Amino acid sequence: MNTLNPNAAAYAGKVRLRVCGICLQDEKLLLVRHQPTLHNTAFWAPPGGGLQYGETVEACLVREMLEETGLQTKVKRFLFVNEFLEEPLQAVELFFELEVTGGELMTGMDPEAGADQQLIEEVAFLSLNEIRQIPLADKHRILHYLFSLDDLFGLPHHFMQK
């Protein structure tokens, strides 16, 4: 897909501050599969979403995790920042380590979008081998060249270098 998915149009033409969670369980990483966004057939990424005015980063991440995955979580520590810019989308993403404290894994939704405009299609814990099978265009940049899932806990901050 070479054009922006209409369901992602609300995020176009503006800078978004996103808060994202790195959550490991049993040697598997929690990921969300979205509909195609731009130049891909799907988009796998750690759960997370946009910071709202008046909301703390921690509250945002706990809310987004519950909305997208059904899991209750505790934010443990800041890990790294990633900057994304591919017209018409731009985001600065803060990644944090998370611990699951309750809830039940489910495919959640974005309450700001209507039922016919949902981007989330699947939520799953994937192993490193399963992540490696996903084409590069269909997964978040932080997942491209992992040697180990532990790499996510020591990634360098990434600013606009491709």
Q: Locate the DSSP E strands across the chain.
A: 15-22, 24-25, 28-34, 43-45, 48-50, 71-86, 89-103, 120-126
pLDDT of 1 higher than 50:
no
Q: Is 98 exposed, middle or buried (0-12, 13-18, 19+ CB in 10 A)?
A: buried
pLDDT of 73 higher than 90:
yes
Q: How far is CA 155 from CA 61, 101, 143, 144, 151, in A?
A: 19, 25, 11, 12, 6
Q: Are 109 and 120 within 8 A, CB to CB?
A: yes
Q: Are 86 and 52 within 8 A, CB to CB?
A: no
Placement of tokens 């490991």 in the chain: 24
Question: What are the residues whose beta carbons fall under 8 Å from the beta carbon of 149, sequence distance 6 or more?
Answer: 24, 27, 28, 29, 128
What integer pLDDT is reported at residue 37 of this predicted model? 75
Determine if the pTM surpasses 0.75: yes
What integer pLDDT is reported at residue 161 of this predicted model? 45
Q: How many CB atoms lie within 10 A of CB 88?
A: 13
